């Protein structure tokens, strides 16, 4: 770590500027202008050069391209489908989940909605969270709770909880869809206004 920092400093603009000023100090010493204190002059010029040099710019972390992020979510959706194909669900929940997955797939379709989706980071986050966390957690907790309910029956059924959870996720996906649709409507209206204004000018 220390060696790495030392190497980075040797290559830094501060060291290069300080070295250039230090070389100028050596030149003054050779010309006899620095006198007996030439080491202090060289060191002082090096320090001054290092101080006035602009600080090193640290590159910001690379942010994935929106299309690339959606590609990852699309792959996650494929893995989610494979997982769900192996689990047993009540009919009503299974139908609701199938519709939800179709809606997710439509939102991630690279030919249509994905371009609009990529422009809305909050929508991308909501969809990613649903595919990676929410749906798998709903199904897994349903199966775990159903097993315990067989040992200790009573209370609201796991099936009912699953249906309630999926209803919330469906409503969330429908809100995202409505918001993206509204974005496209506004975009069309804006273009209409632009063309009409251009036609009048």
pLDDT tens string for the chain (201 positions)? 556 665 565 556 666 666 776 676 666 666 666 666 667 766 776 777 666 666 666 777 776 677 788 889 999 999 999 999 999 999 999 999 999 999 999 999 988 788 888 888 889 999 999 999 999 999 999 999 988 777 777 777 899 999 999 999 999 999 999 999 999 999 999 999 999 999 887
Query: What tokens does 168 get?
Result: 């919330």
| DSSP, residue by residue, 11-35 | TSHHHHHHHHHHHHHHHHHHTTSSG
Whether residue 130 contacts residue 104, with contact meaning beta carbons closer than 8 Å, is answered with yes
Give me the pLDDT at residue 28, please.
Answer: 62
Is residue 46 within 8 A of residue 25, CB to CB? The reply is yes
Q: What is the CA radius of gyration of the chain?
A: 32
Predicted pLDDT at 12: 64
Q: Nearest to residue 25, comparing CAs of 12, 40, 11, 10?
A: 40
Distances (CA, A) of 59 to 2, 4, 63, 64, 122: 20, 17, 12, 15, 25
- Confidence (pLDDT) at 113: 82
Residue 152 is predicted with a pLDDT of: 76
pTM of the predicted model as reported, rounded to 2 decimal places:
0.67
- Orientation angle between helical segments 91-107 and 135-151, nearest 10 degrees: 170
- Whole-number pLDDT of residue 47: 73
Q: Which residue has the tokens 């990852």?
A: 72
């Amino acid at each position: 770590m220390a060696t790495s920092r030392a190497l980075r400093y040797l290559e830094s603009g501060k060291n290069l500027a300080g070295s250039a000023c230090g070389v100028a100090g050596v030149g003054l010493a050779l010309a006899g202008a620095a006198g007996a204190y030439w080491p202090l002059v060289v060191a002082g010029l090096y320090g001054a050069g290092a101080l006035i040099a602009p600080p090193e710019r640290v590159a910001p972390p690379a942010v994935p391209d929106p299309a690339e992020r959606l590609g990852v979510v699309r792959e996650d959706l494929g893995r989610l489908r494979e997982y769900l194909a192996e689990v047993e669900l009540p009919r009503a929940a299974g139908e609701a989940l199938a519709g939800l997955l179709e809606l997710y797939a439509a939102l991630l379709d690279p030919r249509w909605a994905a371009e609009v989706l990529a422009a809305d980071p909050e929508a991308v986050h909501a969809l990613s969270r649903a595919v990676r966390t929410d749906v798998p957690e709903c199904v897994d907790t349903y199966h775990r709770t159903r097993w315990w309910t067989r040992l200790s029956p009573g209370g609201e059924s796991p099936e009912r909880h699953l249906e309630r959870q999926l209803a919330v996720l469906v409503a969330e996906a429908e809100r995202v869809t409505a918001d993206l649709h509204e974005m496209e409507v506004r975009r069309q209206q804006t273009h209409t206004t632009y063309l009409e204004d251009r036609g009048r000018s």
